[in-house]
Amino acid sequence: MSACRTVEGAGCITWWGFGPARDVLSADVVRPEGELNVLLVGSGDPRHILKTIAGLRENNSLHVWVIENNIEVVARQLLLLYLSLSTPESMGMHEKTEVFLELFGNSEIRCQTEETLKHVAAQLSLYVTDTLDTHTQSHPCLDTSLLKFRERDELAQIFKQWQHPPSSPVSAVKAWDARIRQHLGTRYDSRKGCFDWDLTMKLHQKGCGVIHKQQYVKWRERGVAFEMREGLYQRANQSLLSTRVFNHRGDRVGLRGYWGDIVSSPYLSFGIETENKDLLRTQNNQHVKVKRKLMDLNGVRVSFLSPDSLTKLPLKNRYSHLFNTIYCSASMVHHLDSSLKQIAAPDAVLIVELAKYLLDLSKEQEAAFAVKVGEIAKEVGFVQIHDHNNDAYAVFTLQKN
């Protein structure tokens, strides 16, 4: 069922998730005291990390372990976490929110946001190459030491490319339009009607009525989801560009462009749910609410693991029955097998992203994917504890022997 994520509209690289931010420790099971270990497999963005930190109790510390299937996604995760967890002294809350949202969901950004991206890229480059003093670094809770040397070199190259784009940079407008043309085909000339249908007959019907038509259509048209103030959004967001390899006459050719989601939208991650229901009548500020609590990060650690590490964790003693919660995206669920029980703590919770917001799928395909997820979870030793047929996630707990 991994083919679900190869649907053209969803793209081949996960820049954001296909479901709202979730506190992954909030399932209806007894939460132990002390350090809690969470494994995120393919989450694509830091939404679950931020929401989980916000819900952390005083008697808990948190260690999040992150596996992505692409180093370019790891680079984005580091960028967005760096911004989110920066201190008020280095960046005010209002500015931080604007910069975060621009870099998170806009194919084009303002000049001042581009300068912030370059500055953060320089800091991250120093960090992953171990040339930044660990006593002065902005985010000692971010850990890349478990990545392979080759992967850290790749990260450094990505950050360098963000700092110094090619002299003939990729046009974000052309890259985005090329994806729309490929996705819609003969429907391209009537694309506004297609955009409206996807919003009103799909997203709104799935409970996303807070997403405004004007904003959604503008994002579908040119990839700009968040415009907070007047300004020129004309600089390509280098963090949303990546290289896709094609076969051309027997040769493998890398083409840099935008290869992420062009249908479901970045609004899903932070913009469709909030504990304050009054916000749903106007706008959703959950991303702000979450970050207001991210000042005291004592007891929080985020470690990045190699993309191929999921099958290797059960072979290492340090991960034996370690993880209180394991989260898996729809694109990675096919990697789960029975060895998962060896790294799951007693009473561990498994949360799997469903296909609810993959808009290119039919209702029958969406339902079939949910059934398949249940079968996979059962095969690896988990039983469902909630009926989430109408939700974005399925939740399971480790079956007792």
Tell me what pLDDT residue 387 has: 56
pLDDT digits (tens, 9 = 90+) for 259-271: 999 999 999 998 7
Q: How do 235-236 and 108-109 pair as beta strands?
A: antiparallel
Q: Identify whether the C-beta of residue 383 lies closer than 8 Å to the C-beta of residue 397.
A: yes
Q: How far apart are CA 169 and CA 28, in angstroms?
A: 49
Tell me what pLDDT residue 31 has: 73
Q: How far apart are CA 100 and CA 47, in angstroms?
A: 12
CA-to-CA separations, 395 to 43, 52, 230, 324, 353, in angstroms, rounded: 15, 16, 42, 13, 9
**Residue numbers of the chain with a pLDDT score lower than 50:** 1-6, 134-136, 279-295, 389
Coil, helix or strand at residue 123: helix
Strand ranges inside 131-250, DSSP E: 142-143, 235-236, 242-248
Strand order in the sheet with 323-328: 142-143, 300-305, 60-67, 34-41, 323-328, 344-353, 393-398, 382-384
Tell me what pLDDT residue 3 has: 37
Residue in the structure block whose two tokens are 């201190």:
87
Retrieve residue 219's tokens: 């994002």
